[in-house]
Amino acid sequence: MSHMSWKESFWAVVRDYQTQLGMLWMFLVFMLMLTAITLLFGERGTESYTLAIVNLVIVLGFGSIVSIV
């Protein structure tokens, strides 16, 4: 009986969720576009501008993780 290494097990799970990861990536690109619009046309110092900066950090963080996979 052969056992898969943890790396093989990990990539097997990732392949199973490849469609969902693609949908997540498309959603993150959409959120990045909305955030960019807010940062370009929003007023600095407002709560919405601050929230757009937080969104940018979250989207880029998740996007980098999804892009690696």
User: pLDDT tens for residues 4-51?
Assistant: 788 888 888 878 888 888 888 899 899 999 999 999 999 999 999 999
Tokens, residue 47: 């709560």
Judged against a pLDDT cut of 60, whether residue 1 lies above it is answered with: no
The gap between the terminal CA atoms of the chain, to the nearest Å, is 29
CA dihedral 35, 37, 42, 47 (to 10 degrees): -20
- The answer, as to whether pTM is greater than 0.75, is no
Q: What is the DSSP letter of 42?
A: S
- Nearest CA to 57 among 22, 30, 32? 32
Judged against a pLDDT cut of 80, whether residue 2 lies above it is answered with: no
Other C-beta atoms closer than 10 Å to the C-beta of 35 total 21
Looking at residue 37, what is its pLDDT?
A: 94
Judged against a pLDDT cut of 70, whether residue 59 lies above it is answered with: yes
